[in-house]
Amino acid sequence: MHFEDSLAFATKMDRKDPLKKYARLFHRPRFKRQRAIYFCGNSLGLQPRAVSKAFRQELKEWKNLAIEGYWNAKHPWLFYHDTCKPVLAKMTGAGLDEVTVMNALTVNLHLLLTSFYRPTGDHYKILMEAGAFPSDQYAIATQVKLHGHKPSSAIIEIAPRKGEKLLRTEDILHKIAANKNSLALVMMGGINYYTGQLYDLKAITAAAHKAGALAGFDLAHVTGNVPLRLHDWKVDFAVWCSYKYLNGGPGAAGGIFVNNANSNNARISRLGGWWGNDESTRFQMEKTFRPKTGADGWQLSTTQVFNMVALRASLEIFKKAGIKKLHRKSIQLTAYLEFLLQKLKHLDFEIITPSDPEQRGAQLSLYFKKDAKAIHQQMIDNGIVVDYREPGVIRVAPAPLYNSFREVFRFFQILESFKLSES
Ligand SMILES: Cc1ncc(COP(=O)(O)O)c(C=O)c1O
């Protein structure tokens, strides 16, 4: 890719961008009466403009139809989550029956661990990446305890080599193979929230299966960011949240994937609730739980319609833009950001995210040995929205659905000016 550090070049890139029209479909936070540079879609995606209307629609249905809304609303609430499935299935490479929307990420992780972490005899260990998102660490440690094991012996953490910040795929695969006699599950993030490293889900899943274990992933930072092929890669299960790249809004209902090789396996046990029961018998109020086929068989409670309204509106945009096209733009946008950041010799930081586009999504993690918080504050003071994660990392994530090359260039110019203000 050929890049130039000029506004003219960034403008040319934006003009050529076939997805540029989608940016207008989102509200922008403002800073000192100007549009903020929002590179924080990896934490909370922006609000699609269509959301207000979509909420008004559901409020109207509730007002006018009340209980009848479950059957007679424009998007009947009984099946509201179904409306999100086609786009989610496409972006995750899943069958329609392999995905669903419910609860929130950590709750779903617990639910799926209940089914897919079934320690038996010597096979009771879970392999995960060291430095996984804390909620995942807590979920896994408490699940292990629930089964009467000690986290210190049942959890195998894989860390980067001494002096390195990223995991090497060969090390992950080797660690899985080396623990084949005790492993029950490999449970990793898809993209590590701190480093931005995208793991090789296909190779990890194959290695887990070869070792007689199952493979599950937390895709919070992947879904809506990098296209996946979960079914073909034979991933056993996955969870994600909807408020990052999917723009589902704060606390939006999360998503799950359950490979239909598992959901069709009657021996796999699960926790039951009436929303996981087939609709045809759900309201007969029978004693026996008859799980629905597919991922929906893990549903427990009444669909949280209002927690899915924004997600639904956002997925309509994804449907039009297409995840593959978005990813193509994302590769360029992030590479342009990287190209410009490398020119900032006066700021002492290291980009710890892999430079290989196959090993990352939209996010670049900038590691500052010192003054990271002060620099983050300076960015905020200049109308840049990015987030800071301990220790020392500022995460910068241009989202291809609503960010532009010009914004990346403006971000670079602001950081360039930090030198001027210091001297
Ligand atoms: C990688 C990752 N896992 C898990 C979570 C927790 O998600 P939730 O609060 O929806 O359970 C987050 C939240 O940001 C996350 O980034």
In the predicted structure, residue 422 carries a pLDDT above the cut 60: no
Query: What's the CA-to-centroid distance between 240 and ligand 1, angstroms?
Result: 8
Count of other CB atoms within 10 angstroms of residue 422: 9
Atom of ligand 1 nearest to the CA of 193: 1
Residue 190 to residues 13, 68, 239, Cα–Cα distance (Å): 29, 40, 10
Ligand 1 lined by 412 (C-beta under 6 Å): no
CA distance 263 to 112: 11
CA distance 58 to 230: 32
* CB distance 193 to 397 below 8 Å: no
| Spacing of C-alpha 303 from chain mean position | 21
Query: What's the CA-to-centroid distance between 220 and ligand 1, angstroms?
Result: 6
CA distance 178 to 182: 9
Ligand 1 lined by 129 (C-beta under 6 Å): no
- Contacts of residue 397, defined as CB under 8 A and 6 or more positions apart, other chains included, come to 39, 40, 41, 42, 361, 362, 363, 364, 386
Count of other CB atoms within 10 angstroms of residue 306: 16
Q: Which amino acid is at 321?
A: A
Query: What's the CA-to-centroid distance between 245 and ligand 1, angstroms?
Result: 13
And the tokens for 234? 């034979």
Q: By three-state DSSP, how is residue 202 classified?
A: helix
* Per-residue confidence band for 170, with pLDDT thresholds at 50, 70 and 90: very high
Calculate what percentage of the chain has a pLDDT beyond 90. 93
Please name the residue that has the structure tokens 């220790």. 391
Q: Compute the average pLDDT of residues 324-336.
A: 98
And the tokens for 149? 């094991």
Ligand 1 lined by 243 (C-beta under 6 Å): no
| Spacing of C-alpha 370 from chain mean position | 29
CA distance 237 to 261: 10
Cα–Cα nearest to 373, from 383, 387, 363, 385: 387
* CB distance 38 to 29 below 8 Å: yes
Top pLDDT among 288 and 247 is at 247
pLDDT in tens, 252-292: 999 999 999 999 888 899 999 999 998 888 888 888 888 99
Atom of ligand 1 nearest to the CA of 43: 14
Please name the residue that has the structure tokens 């070792």. 211
* Per-residue confidence band for 146, with pLDDT thresholds at 50, 70 and 90: very high
* CB distance 335 to 360 below 8 Å: no
Query: What's the CA-to-centroid distance between 416 and ligand 1, angstroms?
Result: 33
Ligand 1 lined by 191 (C-beta under 6 Å): no
And the tokens for 422? 């210091």
**H/E stretch holding 358:** none
Atom of ligand 1 nearest to the CA of 251: 10
CA distance 139 to 250: 21
Query: What's the CA-to-centroid distance between 335 and ligand 1, angstroms?
Result: 26
pLDDT in tens, 191-200: 999 999 999 9
Q: Compute the average pLDDT of residues 355-378.
A: 96
In the predicted structure, residue 24 carries a pLDDT above the cut 80: yes
Give the closest residue (by CA) to ligand 1 atom 10: 105
Could you write out the DSSP letters of every residue in 218-286? E-TTTTTTS---TTTTT--EEEE-SSSTT---TT--EEEEE-HHHHT-TT------GGGB-HHHHTTT-
pLDDT of 121: 93
Q: By three-state DSSP, how is residue 78 classified?
A: helix
CA distance 61 to 78: 13
CA distance 322 to 337: 22
Ligand 1 lined by 188 (C-beta under 6 Å): no
Give the closest residue (by CA) to ligand 1 atom 7: 105
Give the closest residue (by CA) to ligand 1 atom 8: 105
Residue 96 to residues 101, 243, 257, 295, 366, Cα–Cα distance (Å): 12, 21, 10, 9, 38
User: Angle of helix 323-341 relative to helix 7-16, nearest 10 degrees?
Assistant: 170
Q: Compute the average pLDDT of residues 181-193.
A: 98
The backbone torsions φ and ψ at residue 322, rounded to the nearest 5 degrees and listed phi first, read: 85, 125
CA distance 334 to 69: 43
Atom of ligand 1 nearest to the CA of 221: 1
Please provide the size of the chain in residues. 423
Query: What's the CA-to-centroid distance between 105 and ligand 1, angstroms?
Result: 6
Query: What's the CA-to-centroid distance between 57 and ligand 1, angstroms?
Result: 29
User: Angle of helix 50-65 relative to helix 309-321, nearest 10 degrees?
Assistant: 140
* Per-residue confidence band for 423, with pLDDT thresholds at 50, 70 and 90: very low
Atom of ligand 1 nearest to the CA of 106: 11
And the tokens for 266? 């009657």
Ligand 1 lined by 189 (C-beta under 6 Å): yes
pLDDT of 288: 87
Calculate what percentage of the chain has a pLDDT beyond 70. 99
Ligand 1 lined by 97 (C-beta under 6 Å): no
Could you write out the DSSP letters of every residue in 136-152? HHHHHHHHHHHTT--HH
pLDDT of 419: 64
Count of other CB atoms within 10 angstroms of residue 150: 10
Please name the residue that has the structure tokens 């008859």. 290
